[in-house]
A and B are shown apart, each in its own frame.
Chain A
Amino acid sequence: MNISAAFKRFFNRNGLGLGSFLLIAVGFWLIVLIILPQLSMLDFSFRHHLPPPEMGGPKDTYTLEHYKYLALGAQGADQSYNVVDLGVFVRTLVAAFFVTIFDLLLCYPLAYYLGQASGSGYTRILVLFLIIPYWVNEILRAFAFRIIFGDSGVINELLLAMGLVDNPVDFIRDNVALYSGLGYAYILLMIFPMYNVIESLDRNQIEAARDMGAPWWRIHWRIVIPYAKPGISSGCTMVFMLSAGALAAPQILGGPSSLWFTQIIYQWFNQGGNWPRGAAYAIVLLSVCILIVLSAMRLFKVRMGDIGK
């Protein structure tokens, strides 16, 4: 079947008006909104940082300077590598990884419980409770954590009142607030993919295993987890990508001495005014995240089509 035949069939099926509407809408979305901006950003990241009048001029050539800057730092710096930015980058990825694991451990039991409990009024209320925090603004959620973990926050007041500590603990500087805020922010994205999959698991399988004398942990290890793998990987992928790319929570909850990689990107755009460098950093973040997710999916043998179900 060649392309023109495919188009003819498409228009036969949808009619000219509807068919061209579909084509235009999807084309606009795919090309103008998704592909071209990404390509444009990729292209932009290889350009020199120039004032607007010089753009497109003779100086506007391709360069690797921004990627070099990320790897090696400013020329003439003390260290041979850009220790600060690379350190922040690695720390962001590691922290995002641990946030993902934390969310997985926290959410798996609940997803299993909700998925296996019959859809009674009680579980519906629980699901309602789950959803409510996600209708509240991301900023406000971070703000709530700031109130709780601040020096005069609830936890510190409690610790002081109980006499456990003499001086308030600086949770913000220790990044406790940041990690719990990030974990909090993406609970729902972890729980619902798992819940959807576990819900469709035939309960007879579990009962059969139990009848044959399998302990509870083996039931999970051999039946529930393999079955729920698409949901687990989908949830983990989303939580990892979103927490590595989070900006609001680190800005509000991050300690004064620790940065998130997205904050560096933000600074290049809004304070540094060096857009190409910001774009280069964004490209690095995007490609490394995608690489990590793809290799994790390869490792756990999950397909792309399972994401988002």
Chain B
Amino acid sequence: MKSQNLVLKIFLGLYLAIFFSYLLGPLIIMGVTAFNSPGFPRAAPWECLTFEWFEVLSNDKRIMTGLKNSLIVGSGTVILSVVLGLAGALMLTQIYPKLRATFYTIVIAPILIPGVVLGISTLVFWDRLNIMLGLSGDSFLHNGIFLTILGQSTFIASYCMLVFLARLQRFDMGLTEAALDLGATNVQAFRKVLVPFLMPAIASAAVLAFLASFENYNTTTFTFGKYPTLTIELAQKVRYGINPSISALAFTIVVLTIFAAVTHEVTQRRKQLALASGATVSAIRGDGFLLPGFLRSNPAAIVLLVLSVGAVATVGFASTYSPDSCKVVVREQKRALQQKQIEKIKQQRLQQQRDKATKGPDIFGADKSKVAPQSGFATKSPGVGAFGNVFAPTNLDKTQPKPESKTESPGKGAFGNVFAPTNLNETGPKKP
């Protein structure tokens, strides 16, 4: 029995390890690439510690405009969906029971409808309304921000409604009735009894709505018009050539997220402790960082402390550190490596030249067979070729040897082509 338990524990540990490395590994690797110097985000051959990608990021105008648009859309969506979600939840508690299932199905449906469909339907509906009303193409019905807020609110309001419903289940309707009996008007009862009770739900619904709006892509991609949000800009960047400044952005978001989540966890924990010991929240807070005992009982607080110290240290380090010397070293190493490769190719070429000179007529046959796959590759994936060039981290360095070989090759043009396929193989790792 005991050994069985041990086996079970090992399995559980293994499973948890696999699960969480699947969950967190990608984020960690992406975070690491933000600090590596190659132009293509990669973690594996570590070159130089650098902070330049953060600078590139903060100088990127499109990202910053996208961020601004995202904030505008986000706040609009939060207001609209919290209001709609609240109204929907209140309605659901009062609606004629036979209608309740139908109503619930309709308001829950936007969560299940693919975001693409929501985006299209919003776009089509308002576009046709616009035509019907005879407005011009620039009217507010065509405004990207307006459409995006409406499209996103359609389903985000459903999320909010679920949050409100969960909270409303614990609401004692007798409280409102008591207020009404005591002479409060309906609005007063709503404002002074129900809304304060729902406040935590309103807060979490607002946070949820903002996050959902901020990261929405499927719906927004059809409705954004002239106002691309941050997510749209990111998607375009990722699709048409990537550099580590995106990793830098992701890293920033992840750190902010962890910070917010851990802070939330710490305050929750504090409240629990306060409840358990009967003390006020402020009393516990006063002891927070003084008592190691509190830290020991609260792993989240330790994480928070470590994180803050780490952040301060990193910023301090970044302002003094310069990766230039390291970069020079790496570039030299690469150049040396490339020189070697060029030498190797040259020797191969000479060797083959000699071989072929002896064989003679075979030259053209060999040429054709070797050139063909190359052209086939080019026609198959024009997009990939474009990507490949952009991604190639050593692009800049590679351009140096290329002219060299070109200047050499005109005399033996046919042979220059022979080597093209092998060249491709060598740069192969860099294409996506």
Binding site for B on A (CB under 8 A): 1, 6, 10, 13-15, 17-19, 21-22, 25-26, 28-30, 33-38, 40-41, 44, 52, 55-56, 106, 109-110, 113, 121, 124-126, 128-133, 135-148, 150-154, 156-158, 160, 167-168, 172, 180, 184, 187, 237-238, 241-242, 244-248, 251-252, 256, 262, 265-266, 269, 275, 278-279, 282, 285-286, 289-290, 293, 304-305, 307-308
Contacts and interface: CB of A to CB of B under 8 A. Distances in A.
10 contacts: A110-B15, A113-B16, A135-B257, A143-B250, A144-B30, A147-B43, A168-B429, A245-B218, A262-B114, A282-B121
Given A10-B94, A252-B235, A293 B112 contact: yes
B254 interface: yes
A106 B21 CA distance: 13
Contacts of B300: 121, 124-125, 128
A52 B131 contact: yes
Interface in B370-392: 381, 383-384, 391
B262 A128 contact: yes
A305 B211 CA distance: 26
Interface stretch (B183-191, B287-295, B314-322): B183-191
B145 interface: no
A125 B120 CA distance: 39
A41 B125 contact: yes
Nearest to A113: B12
B45 interface: yes
A308 B112 CA distance: 10
A156 B30 contact: no
Contacts of A187: 23
Q: Pick the most buried of B157, B186, B383, B384: most chain A CB atoms within 10 A of its CB.
A: B186
B51 interface: no
A41 B40 CA distance: 42
B211 A29 contact: no
B121 A38 contact: yes
B94 A144 contact: no
B206 interface: no
Given A125-B300, A143-B246, A286 B154 contact: no
Given A13-B94, A36-B125, A144-B30, A21 B87 contact: yes
Contact of B19 (A21, A55, A106, A141): A106
A308 B120 CA distance: 24
A146 B261 CA distance: 26
Contacts of B23: 129-130, 133, 184, 187
A154 to B, nearest CB: 5
B91 interface: yes
B396 interface: no
A223 to B, nearest CB: 18
B42 A147 contact: yes
A143 B231 contact: no
A55 to B, nearest CB: 6
Contact of A279 (B124, B218, B235): B124
A147 B247 contact: yes
A28 B107 CA distance: 12
Nearest to A12: B186
Contact of B110 (A17, A34, A141): A34
Contacts of A289: 114
B401 interface: no
B253 A30 contact: no
B99 to A, nearest CB: 9
Contacts, number: 281
Interface residues of B, number: 105
B114 A124 contact: no
A282 B113 CA distance: 10
Contacts of B298: 121
A248 B217 contact: yes
Nearest to B42: A152
Given A33-B150, A147-B42, A251-B239, A308 B101 contact: no
A160 B348 CA distance: 24
A34 B239 contact: no
Contacts of B234: 137, 139-140, 143
A142 B238 contact: yes
Interface string B286-310: 0000000000011110000000000
Contacts of B246: 140, 143
A38 B117 CA distance: 8
B186 A18 contact: yes
A214 B179 CA distance: 55
Contacts of A36: 125
B323 interface: no
Contacts of B112: 237-238, 241, 290, 293, 307
Nearest to B91: A26
Given A33-B150, A41-B117, 6 more contacts: A21-B87, A22-B91, A29-B88, A44-B128, A138-B217, A151-B428
B116 A265 contact: yes
B261 A157 contact: no
A299 to B, nearest CB: 17
Contacts of A132: 24, 27, 254, 257-258, 261
Contact of A15 (B40, B45, B84, B185): B185
B346 to A, nearest CB: 23
Contact of A246 (B101, B124, B154, B218): B218
Contacts of A38: 121
B52 interface: no
B117 A285 contact: yes
Contacts of B91: 22, 26
Nearest to A241: B112
A110 B18 CA distance: 11
A25 to B, nearest CB: 4
Interface in B91-136: 91, 94, 96, 101, 104-118, 120-126, 128, 131
B430 interface: yes
A38 B124 CA distance: 9
Contacts of B12: 113
Contact of A248 (B120, B125, B186, B235): B235
A234 B88 CA distance: 21
Contacts of B109: 34
A-B pairs with the 9 shortest C-beta distances?
A: A245-B114, A15-B186, A157-B44, A25-B87, A37-B121, A144-B26, A37-B125, A40-B125, A41-B121
Contact of B20 (A34, A129, A135): A129
B221 A156 contact: no
A247 B217 contact: yes
Contacts of A247: 115-116, 217-218, 221
